[in-house]
Each structure stands twice: as C-alpha cells, then as structure tokens.
C-alpha cells in the first residue's frame, strides 16, 4: 500500500502546538503508512518554550524513524489580534516547503502528500492546498459545541444580519443547534462581542465549511448533542488529545513534595492557564476566600505583563507584594502559593479534590481525564462558552462567574469565590460522581472499539483514499 504524508500547520501557541503534535503522534501510532511534517512558526513570545518542547521530542521513535519531522519557518513577530493577515504572510514560506515535498514524490520511497491539517486559525493555507490539488482538514482544538456556535452565528449573521454586539447586555437567549439549553447572549465569548474579532471569526467559519473535514479534540460521550447535530463538513471526534505523561518531579520537586503530603481529595487547585493573571485587588479577594473557606489549597499566581505589551505572565519573586498582609503566614499549614504550575502533574494526584480553572478546553479535558471537578472562572477566548457547557449543559462543574471577562476590569468579590469553593469541595457529590463516570468514558473513547478510536480510523481512511 502507498505511503502517505500529511502537512500540519499549527498556530504558534503552546496549547495549539502541543495538541497538534499529540494528534500527529496518535495518527502515526495507528497507521504505519503515514508520515507527518509539522511546520513550526517561531515567534518571540514562544521562543524558549518552543525550542525546549521540540528538543524534548527528539528521542521519540516517530522522530527517530523520520515519520515525524519538524520544519521551522522564518521567524515572525505577529500582530496577535489578526491571525488572518499573519498567516497570509506565512504562505510563501509554507509554499516553498510543500514544493520540495511534492518534488520528492518522484522518488519511489517518498510518501504521497495527501492533505493539509490546519489549525483553526490557519485557514489562509487552504488556498495553498487548493493550488497543490490536495484537501484541507481543520484541526479544531476546542470543543464541538463551540465549533457549532461559530458556524451558527456566522449563518444567522449572513442570512439574517444578526449582530451579536447588539445583545451583549441583554437577556436574549439563542437556540444553538449544539446545545440542549438556550444560551444567554450576555455570556457570548469575548471575540464574538468585539466588532473586529467577530469579523475575523466570520471569515474563519466560512472557510471551515469549505474544508474536507474537521478534526475536533472531543469525544462522543462528552458532547453527544453537538456531535450528533453536526451536518457538514464531516466531523471527526478523536479526543481527548492530551499530553498527560509529565510528573513534574524533576522540574518542581518542592510542589510535588507538598502535594504528596496532603490527604486524598483535600486540596483545591487554582490555576488559570499559560496566559492567565489577575490584578492585585483581585488576588486579594481570592486570598480572603481561600482563607475563609478553610480548605487546603495550591494556588498558582502570575504577574500580568505590562498593559501595552503582548507577553506571557511571569512569576512573582515574592508573592507577599500582592497578597494580604500575613496571609502566607496564617495559611502556611494548609496552603501553598506557587508561580507557574505543572498542571497535569498536579491534577493527576489523588490529593486534588477540586480545580478552579479558566476553562481553557485543554484544561477542561485534563480535569475530566483525572476526574477532578471544576469551579469555572473563564477569562478570554471561548472560555465563557466552555464554562456554560460544563455547568449548565453537562452538570460537570460549579460556577464562580460564567460571564467574567478579563478585559472588563471588574472584581469578583471574596464571598462569591468562597461560596463556589465550598460548593466545589463540600457539596458536589453528584457532580463528583458524574465527573468520575466521564473520566472512565474519556479513557474508553480512545481504546480499540471506542468512539474516538473509530472516528480517528474514519479520518485515516478518508485521508488515505484522497
């Protein structure tokens, strides 16, 4: 049988890149005929993290056998508010690489190029795929329900001139095909409520409809309503796609030792993603809530970047500068404040009984994989929608504030946070049972005969047949 090759183009963000590489490894483990070339777009914001991550992959059997290759494109400094123009600029570099791959096909041992797998933001590359006469597949790193929300608001905008910005402060509800419950317009994700970014989202959704298929990081048992309501193009639910092998012991021994010393199910873990940070005033409210709740806690806090700079948050040299006076001393027996957190290693430990999260989709899937219930505190991107899905649609989480937006500058008070933590840690037996059941379903989905295993096979068959 012919060997085949896919070209992956991920968005330059660690969450997107890691998910794409894990998908590539999953595909390679399923079919020995496949090889995959991942095109890496290096930007200053990612530089050190990116190269450390790529270095960690060099001992992989797929890399050693040359079935998984990484090609770095020329460096670029993007305007992160407009991915479309950024990826338009990458097209000449991508075209040059793909030309070399297609020219190599004349060699009898070279695999045939059968398609592009493009991150959800990389739709300008679909034009190149058309040039080369190969299909494009979208890899959607978020959930199926949010994918369908994007397509739904694009359709009603184009057909009925729907403008979501008009409804941002109203009590209007949308009947979204992927949801059982009506969705409040006031908690539409921030990109949909921003005129410029909504325009970009419309462009993405229209291009999604032109793809040969959409690969989604989800599984049937989690999002059955959304998956079963999806029409065209074909949807391949292949998740959960996660990197869950890191134990953090070598890189963060102090955190791991503290974690190991805590009773089972006793710790609430607070972590808000690689870009998550709060103001000094908000951190104080969280601190009061934790202290008053009396629960053990492991809390990751990060310093926000300067307002005029696009950068990742950094660790505080001394968190005392932003926490209430004496807080660390008063809570030393029950809590630990840290900087960057090895999230997977923490969630994997039986001491963790609850997770206060920004509801990034990777974090949602990780929490379910390890059976840890969430208290939702969305901040940006599609996280408000994810919070609604987890709390209202699926009953797998408790709410802190589903409508919170980082850019609003509003402060969630300590009483509200404390109530949610108590609800999460003391009154969530039914949710905890459902999360435990979903943990088992997430693992079953990936094994031979599972829903995601079957769907991944469908994608491979479709891609190989051209």
- The predicted structure's pLDDT at residue 23: 96
Which one has a higher pLDDT value, 79 or 213?
213
Residues with Cβ within 8 Å of residue 465, at least 6 apart in sequence: none
In 124-194, which ranges are continuous DSSP H helix?
125-132, 144-160
Distance CA(236)–CA(423), nearest Å, equals 36
Report the pLDDT value the prediction gives residue 87, as an integer from 0 to 100.
87
- Confidence grade of residue 103 (pLDDT, cut at 50, 70, 90): confident
pLDDT of 50 higher than 80:
no
Percentage, residues of the chain above pLDDT 70: 95
Centroid of chain to Cα 417: 24
User: pLDDT band at residue 248, thresholds of 50, 70 and 90?
Assistant: low
Of the two residues 106 and 152, the one the predictor is more confident about is 152
Q: Give the pLDDT score at 20.
A: 95
Q: What is the pTM of this model?
A: 0.94
pLDDT of residue 211 exceeding 90, the answer is: yes
**d(C-alpha 144, C-alpha 176), whole Å:** 12
pLDDT at 47 > cutoff 70:
no
Which pLDDT score, from 0 to 100, does residue 79 have?
60
pLDDT digits (tens, 9 = 90+) for 138-167: 999 999 999 999 999 999 999 999 999 888
In order, the DSSP letters of 224-262 are: HHHHHH--SS-EEE-----------TTT-HHHHHHHHTS
DSSP H helices in 323-376: 327-330, 343-347, 361-369
Biggest alpha carbon distance in the chain?
71
247 has pLDDT over 70: no
Task: Report which of residues 47 and 70 the model is more confident about.
Answer: 70
pLDDT mean across residues, the chain: 92
User: Average pLDDT of 65-88?
Assistant: 80
293-325 pLDDT, tens digit each: 999 999 999 999 888 777 788 899 999 999 999
pLDDT in tens, 337-365: 999 999 999 999 999 999 999 999 999 99
**Using the 8-state DSSP alphabet, how is residue 168 labeled?**
T
pLDDT number for residue 21: 94
Mean pLDDT value across residues 198-213: 95
> Does residue 105 surpass a pLDDT of 80?
no
Q: Could you tell me which residue, 438 or 18, shows the higher pLDDT?
A: 438
Q: What is the per-residue pLDDT across 400-434, written as a single tens digit (0 to 9) for each?
A: 999 899 888 899 999 999 999 999 999 878 999 99
Given this model, what pLDDT does residue 249 score?
A: 60
Predicted local confidence at residue 46, as pLDDT: 62
Condensed to tens digits (0 to 9), the pLDDT of residues 218-245 reads 999 999 999 999 988 999 999 999 988 7
Q: Is the dihedral angle over the CA atoms 363, 369, 375, 381 positive or is it negative?
A: positive
Give the confidence band of 1 by pLDDT, cuts at 50, 70, 90: low
| Mode of pairing for the β-strands spanning 183-184 and 173-174 | antiparallel
């Amino acid at each position: 049988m012919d060997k085949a090759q896919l070209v992956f183009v991920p968005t330059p963000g660690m969450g997107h890149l890691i998910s794409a590489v894990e998908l590539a490894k999953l595909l390679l483990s399923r079919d020995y005929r496949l090889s995959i070339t991942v095109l890496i777009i290096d930007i200053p914001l990612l530089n050190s993290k990116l190269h450390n991550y790529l270095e960690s992959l060099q001992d992989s059997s797929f890399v050693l056998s040359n079935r998984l290759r990484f090609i770095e494109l020329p460096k670029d400094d993007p305007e992160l508010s407009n991915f479309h123009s950024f990826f338009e600029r990458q097209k000449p570099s991508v075209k040059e690489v793909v030309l070399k791959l297609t020219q190599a096909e004349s060699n009898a041992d070279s695999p045939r190029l059968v398609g592009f797998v493009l991150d959800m933001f990389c739709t300008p590359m679909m034009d190149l795929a058309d040039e080369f006469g190969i299909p494009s597949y979208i890899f959607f790193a978020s959930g199926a329900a949010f994918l369908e929300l994007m397509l739904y608001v694009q359709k009603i905008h184009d057909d009925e001139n729907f403008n979501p910005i008009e409804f941002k402060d109203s009590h209007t509800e949308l009947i979204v095909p992927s949801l059982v419950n009506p969705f409040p317009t006031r908690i539409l994700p921030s990109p949909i409520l921003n005129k410029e970014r909504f325009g970009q989202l419309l462009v993405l959704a229209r291009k999604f409809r032109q793809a040969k298929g959409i690969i989604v990081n989800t599984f049937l048992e989690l999002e059955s309503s959304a998956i079963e309501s999806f029409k065209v193009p074909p949807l391949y639910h292949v998740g959960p796609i996660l990197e869950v092998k890191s134990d953090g012991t070598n890189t963060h021994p102090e955190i791991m030792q503290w974690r190991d010393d805590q009773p089972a199910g006793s710790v609430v873990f607070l972590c808000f993603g690689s870009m998550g940070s709060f103001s000094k005033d908000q951190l104080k409210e969280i601190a009061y809530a934790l202290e008053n709740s009396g629960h053990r806690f492991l809390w990751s806090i990060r310093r926000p970047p300067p307002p005029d700079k696009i950068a990742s948050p950094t660790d505080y040299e001394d968190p005392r500068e932003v926490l209430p006076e004496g807080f660390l001393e008063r809570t030393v027996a029950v809590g630990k404040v840290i900087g960057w957190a090895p999230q997977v290693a923490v969630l994997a430990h039986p001491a963790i009984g609850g997770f206060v999260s920004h509801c990034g989709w990777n974090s949602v899937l990780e929490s379910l994989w390890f059976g840890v219930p969430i208290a939702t505190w969305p901040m940006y991107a599609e996280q408000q929608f994810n919070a609604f899905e987890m709390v209202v649609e699926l009953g797998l989480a408790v709410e802190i504030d589903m409508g919170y937006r980082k850019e609003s500058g509003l402060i969630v008070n300590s009483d509200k946070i404390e109530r949610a933590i108590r609800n999460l840690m003391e009154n969530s037996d039914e949710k905890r049972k459902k999360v435990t059941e979903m943990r088992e379903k997430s693992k079953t989905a990936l094994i031979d005969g599972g829903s995601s295993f079957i769907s991944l096979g469908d994608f491979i068959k479709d891609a190989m047949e051209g």
